[in-house]
Structure 1
Amino acid sequence: MCTKERIFKISKSTGTFRDESINFATKILEKSGISEKSYAPEPLFLKTPPNASLAGAREERESVVIGTIDDIFLKTKVKTEEIGIVVTNCSVFNCMPSLSGMIVNHYKLRNNVVSYNLTGTGCSAGLISIDLAKQLLQVRPNSYALVFSTENITGASYFGNNRSMFVSNCIFRMGAAAILLSNRSSDSHLFKYYLKHIVRTHKGSQDDCYNSVLQKEDEEGFTGVSLSKNIMSSAGKALNTNISTLGKCVLPWTEQINFLQV
């Protein structure tokens, strides 16, 4: 767990952040609502100066993967050899072997497992992964699909002073989530939810949406993720389209007619 005080101490120890950047981070953290008990990767926030190396990013990745997936196997009682599909996503950090490859290796999954590793898909990555798993289950009967979603703070760390890129250092923390999908009829009484509809809207053809989250180098050569001021309006456009599309699937005719009248 990493307190805000610790974050400021580590930031100052880098020697790359100007005072105005530290003051900007202070304001962002105060408004963010991030807890004093939020989690951060050890290589980045427990070492002085922070270690943002490839080895540090791998260490963070492994620390979230094992605990999350161990927990889902424990809760569902599903055996590792029963997993037929693995879909993982991590937008910023992409290395070899891939995240999905690491899971296959660690849990010694069978050699005919279908695995996919998605990257560069941002905050919608979890939904995209579930959609892919659903499509794979439609052509692979009697299967389990393991979906794992995370982001890598070490791999996304930024050491420059561009404010649009500095924000990501302040608002993102460490964590992961996993979900198990099944199309086995014998499991229908065991699982919590039934997946009926997935709605996806891609606004990438519009330049303001495409550039709203962009990994790049700043004027000093530091790599980071730039969050554009257009990000909220871009998300709003996609959300409006999603709600309109999903409404046709879930709302009764009476409500749909009321919507059209409005």
Structure 2
Amino acid sequence: MQEVIKVEQLTKSYGKQLAVNNISLSVSRGMVFGLLGANGAGKSTTIECILGTKEAGAGKISILGMNPRTDRKKLFEKVGVQFQETNYQDQITVKEVCELTASLYSQITDPFDLLKKFGILDKQKSFIKDLSGGQRQRLFIVLALIPNPEVVFLDELTTGLDAKARREVWKILFSLKEKGLTIFLTSHFMDEVEALCDCICILKRGEIVFYGTVSEAIKESPYDKFEEAYLWYTDEEGQTDENF
């Protein structure tokens, strides 16, 4: 399978604080890849370095065969990004932000088709500030998919959604995966990780403590449930909450 994301020996420090230490990973086309870990484990730093929004201290990174720092213009058209913390001005409607986002790209997926698919077409005249948490989250996924990307980064994609809405989002992502979309996600919902991810990487204090499938993670732990296995790998209750 074609390699879409490749990270080799990524290291990143903030002053004397080592945030990510010698991380290597590979994501193939059409794969759903989950980057997991407690707060402060290094997930955010890893993703920012992969996207090129932060410069790695050491290591090599490529997305679709391109360098995310030097080929950002080319990658802009091919990579969709949804972050949990996304801020928009108060007086902008769903329709306006969709049209604004669409105007930035040469080839797009119809944003109103996406709004309908994600169940928020009726909110197109609403201000973003007036949306519920779940509606905002679905909108941010829509915005990440408007450029018809080859790879999309989704950060805690179903936070704020009820169980039914979460499963509806999963179904949509499955259908996009079947069409060849590569999905790189983070999640604190272990049932979501089990349902969606072909491969996972668990970080602890900036280092990889597990890399493989969910079933392999369970097998290599003392537990027979993934959530318990994940907590065993991370073991970071009470650790720092720094946003790495």
Shorter-chain TM-score bucket reads: under 0.3
Q: Which has the higher helix share?
A: 1
Would you tell me which structure has more strand in proportion to its own residues? 2
**Length-normalised TM-score, structure 2:** 0.27
Q: Whose relative contact order is higher, 1 or 2, with alpha carbons under 8 Å and at least 6 apart? A: 2
Q: Larger Rg: 1 or 2?
A: 1
TM-score (norm 1): 0.26
